[in-house]
Amino acid sequence: MTATTAPELARRTEAEVESQPETWSRAIELAARAGALPAAGASVLGLGCGTSYYILDSYARRRQQLGQGRTRAAIATELDAVDLADPGDAVILLSRSGTTSDLVHVGRELSKRTRTIAITGTPGSPITEVAHDTIVMDFADEQSVVQTRYATSALTLLRASIGDDVATLPDLARAALAEPPVANPADYNHVVFLGTGWTLGLADEAALKCREAARLWTESYATLEYRHGPIACASEKTLVWSFSPLPADVTEAITGTGATLRVATIDPQAELTLVHRLAIAYARHRGLECDTPKHLSRSVIVG
């Protein structure tokens, strides 16, 4: 892949990544009038698959941290979500396409016993037919297979609903996206993302984005777990990227391996836009079309 043709790759994904400041602003506006979102004090269960689960994990941890009420997130395909949900739970079903088979099935069963709220980018999709309430974010829907702006816009909506400080997020993202990629793809063949508390879900999502878009060797861990084995793989070809501040001893351990360390200095969600940029840079460097990655589709539909 030559330098002149590489920019032809990832055009749709790049446009969607660059549009995040605008879609986040619209998500903040939507949150102000979306009465279906759980109120403070409500018990909440978030269900999703893949990226949607990671976004809900971040939301759940942040909602608990802010004292908004009992909040959990689960993978729709991993646990018996029907048994996991309590009768009084408000259950959030997050799906960009609204067609994910496992989530639609679980949502249908849960709607028989508790309140369900679908958040989707696709009006009239199957998930809207099984949920009691629906919030449509079609302004953030995407053509690309790899989720970027839809996922972060959903997180913006959810964070706004719990009183988190999101007013400056669009401007932070705009400034971040004006910067060049944070690393040269030729310098690293291994990227590790770290997070703690609500940023752990962001670390997981960051690693997934780079795997999906560029088939890159990525890992994600809770910050203090990284020294319990995974650090053994670190080398001078490793970039370790933390979404939260690090204790001094962890910093020393990481830099002692020869790895390069980056620690977020802006809101962690805005920091995630820089990961999107890096994933595109890696895809182009490797001659990969991340608009339509190998082996992936926009939605997993079974049967």
The verdict on residue 296 lying in a domain is no
Q: What is the domain range of residue 280?
A: 171-285
- Asked if 125 and 103 touch (Cβ cutoff 8 Å), the reply is no
- Predicted TM-score (pTM) of the model is 0.94
Q: Which two tokens stand for residue 50?
A: 């893949």
pLDDT in tens, 241-299: 999 999 999 999 999 999 999 999 999 999 999 999 999 999 999 999 998 887 766 56
Looking at residue 303, its pLDDT comes to: 55
139: exposed, middle or buried (C-beta count within 10 Å: 0-12, 13-18, 19+)?
A: middle
| Contact residues for 83 (Cβ-Cβ < 8 A; gap 6+) | none
pLDDT in tens, 32-87: 998 999 999 999 999 999 999 999 999 999 999 999 999 999 998 876 666 778 88
Specify whether 177 is located in the same domain as 156: no
Q: What is the pLDDT of residue 155?
A: 99
Averaged pLDDT of the chain: 94
Structural tokens at position 58? 């971040």
- Band of the pLDDT at 3, cuts 50, 70, 90? very low
Q: Do 197 and 138 belong together in one domain? A: no
pLDDT for residue 2 is more than 60: no
Residue whose entry in the numeric block shows the structure tokens 């079609």: 138
Beta bridge partners of 134: 118
Residue with tokens 């279906």: 36
Whether residue 86 contacts residue 44, with contact meaning beta carbons closer than 8 Å, is answered with no
Establish if 198 belongs to a structural domain: yes
- SS3 call for 213: helix
pLDDT tens for residues 127-165? 999 999 999 999 999 999 999 999 999 999 999 999 999
Residue 149: which CATH number? 3.40.50.10490
